[in-house]
Amino acid sequence: MKAKIVTLPGDGIGPEVTEQAVRVLDAVAARGGHEFTYESALIGGCAIDATGNPLPDETLAVCKSADAVLLGAVGGPQWSDPTAPVRPEQGLLKLRHHFDLFANLRPVKAYPALAHYAPLRADLLENVDILFVRELTSGIYFGPRQEQGDGDSAHDTMLYTVEQVQRAARVAFEAARQRRGKVASVDKANVLASMRLWRRAVTEVAADYPDIELEHVLVDACAMHLLRRPASFDVVLAGNMFGDILSDETSVLAGSLGMLPSASLGVGSFGVYEPIHGSAPDIAGQGIANPVATILSAAMLLRHSLGLDDDAQAVEAAVEAALASGARTADIADPNTEPLSTSAFADRVLAHL
Ligand code: IPM
Ligand code: MG
């Protein structure tokens, strides 16, 4: 098949990990006889430096012409002045909003090869296989706000409509049907009005899915249960901010923040694929970042935007095989093993592919 993929490498380690994921996509194209063409564009801090805008119009236009977008990461200390009029993260939020990518899928797996290294007991990690469905284009990230505050106060607003909750909920219930048939919906219904609406809206959708088991979990308790009984979770449905926080927490189960991919989807097949981690300015430019999250994001791109499920599975299997054969970047390495560079790790994945 033919596909146009736009890469938005962004800042920090973004370009390093994106480069390796593109190598993997190239290998997939070569073995499957596909023709992938790429175009690269600016987003985040590098876009601010070049144009003053974290999401230039040209970037939006290029993305619009693509079948899918592979994104690295945005942000860095040089753009983090709290009084700055524009921030790199605004580019990412605008991109998600512009294409109405309301469903953010964040799968979390615990790899047996890494179990001994994770800070949790290995027996707790057995059979961990969670899919976060994070609502991505509403909630407190996009509610009415007072951008600069007035000096003495500032506010953001957690606003949800029934429709916004229910379209994300449907994605979660549909996913659960293909998985183990369970949805845990995360809220804070004991305190927040917007979250009481969330619970009601999700319960209404559940009526259309009598085959799916629905559990409502308060976010604070959920943060604890995800570490205490991670294997009991199947699909976790959460709002924008709670999903952001819980998915970083849950990366501990996978061994590192550098392991988790994501897909941001709307109604069609177009999607934006990115690691859940940030730009890691502390290790940028050293060639030591873990490319797994971005490589697995590329696998999600193959599956969800290009319909190449076999190729996606092959990439995921190659990552797993590389890990099983002992390939490690610094973030997941044992103290007494020599970690691989970003590209050397990708070489190991490519060898298995
Ligand atoms: C994520 C990130 C972003 C978010 C930031 C960079 C805006 O943390 O994708 O999880 O909060 O959504
Ligand atoms: Mg995050």
Q: Indicate which CATH number applies to the domain containing 220.
A: 3.40.50.2300
Closest listed residue to residue 62, CA positions, set 36, 43, 88: 43
Strand order in the sheet with 103-109: 35-40, 2-10, 68-73, 271-273, 263-265, 103-109, 129-135, 235-238, 182-187, 213-218
Residue 152 falls within a domain, yes or no?
A: no
Q: CB of 1 within 8 A of CB of 29?
A: no
Report phi then psi at 210, rounded to 5.
Answer: -65, -20
Q: What is the pLDDT of residue 149?
A: 61
CA 35 to centroid of ligand 1, rounded, Å: 31
209 among known catalytic residues: no
With the most atoms of ligand 1 within 8 angstroms of its CB, the residue from 71, 244, 251, 272 to mutate is 244
254, 272, 302 - which closes a domain: 254
How many angstroms from the chain centroid is the CA of residue 45?
A: 19
CA 32 to centroid of ligand 2, rounded, Å: 33
Q: What is the pLDDT of residue 163?
A: 98
**Are 213 and 174 found together in one domain?**
yes
Q: Which domain holds residue 179?
A: 119-143+157-254
Q: How far, in Å, CA of 348 to CA of 353, rounded?
A: 9
Q: Which one from 2, 64, 208, 220 is the annotated catalytic residue?
A: 220
244 among known catalytic residues: yes
Closest listed residue to residue 10, CA positions, set 65, 61, 56, 66: 56
Atom 7 (ligand 1) nearest CA: 89
194, 227, 254 - which closes a domain: 254
Residue 115 pLDDT level (bands cut at 50, 70, 90): confident
194, 224, 254 - which closes a domain: 254
Number of domains observed in the structure of the chain: 2
Residue 336 pLDDT level (bands cut at 50, 70, 90): confident
pLDDT digit string, tens, across residues 41-80 = 999 999 999 999 999 999 999 999 999 999 999 999 999 9
